[in-house]
């Protein structure tokens, strides 16, 4: 019986030492779970964030540009109609509408249909540039 008490006391000391030791392992499982959920959310939400004006974009081999959280999209249809985030506007009201939504430091995406008049698209780009918007990106689709 005396031996049982001695061995039990020694085991208690060992357990106390182990419980005071700092755990130095990183548990990766919760981080992986969160990242997979975020990936699924972004995969489902990304197609819904594109502008809804139906135009046929030109195709190019250029790489994609990094985007901001809420880009301002200006679209030019084949008929020459101008849309700012799905809202039709005239050339005279273009700067007033864009300035209500963005500052000159914000990026503006210009979407021109493949069959739209090149002069019309460049005129819209010139109007935006002369108003102080220097970060204008032309939106295209990637070639297959």
Tokens of 14: 């060992």
CB-side neighbour CA atoms (13 Å) of 105: 0
Residue 106 placed within a domain:
yes
pLDDT of res. 91: 80
pLDDT of res. 47: 73
Residue 11 placed within a domain:
no
- Sign (positive/negative) of CA torsion 49, 78, 128, 110? positive
Q: Which domain holds residue 95?
A: 52-142
Residue 44 placed within a domain:
no
Runs of H (alpha helix) within 1-141: 2-20, 29-45, 94-101, 118-130
CA–CA distance, 15 with 24 (Å, rounded to integer): 17
Residue 12 placed within a domain:
no
Residue 130 placed within a domain:
yes
Count of structural domains within the chain = 1
Mind listing the pLDDT tens digit of every residue in the chain (144 residues)?
A: 555 555 445 555 555 555 677 777 888 888 999 999 999 998 888 777 665 666 666 677 666 655 555 778 888 888 888 888 888 888 888 888 887 887 777 788 888 877 887 888 888 888 888 888 878 877 777 777
Residue 38 placed within a domain:
no
Residue 30 placed within a domain:
no
Residue 24 placed within a domain:
no
CATH of the domain at 63: 3.30.420.270
CA 111 to chain centre: 17
pLDDT of res. 131: 83
pLDDT of res. 37: 95
């Amino acid at each position: 019986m005396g031996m049982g008490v001695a061995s039990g006391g020694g085991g208690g000391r060992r357990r106390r030492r182990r419980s005071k030791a700092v755990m130095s392992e990183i548990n990766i499982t919760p981080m992986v779970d969160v990242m997979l959920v975020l990936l699924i959310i972004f995969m489902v939400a990304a197609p819904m964030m594109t502008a809804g004006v139906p135009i046929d974009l030109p195709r190019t081999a250029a790489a994609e540009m990094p985007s901001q959280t809420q880009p301002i999209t200006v679209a030019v249809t084949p008929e020459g109609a101008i849309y700012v985030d799905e809202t039709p506007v005239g050339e005279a009201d273009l700067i007033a509408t864009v300035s209500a939504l963005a500052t000159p430091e914000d990026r503006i995406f210009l979407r021109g249909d493949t069959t739209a008049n090149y002069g019309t698209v460049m005129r819209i780009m010139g109007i935006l540039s002369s108003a102080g918007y220097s970060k204008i990106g032309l939106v295209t689709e990637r070639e297959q």
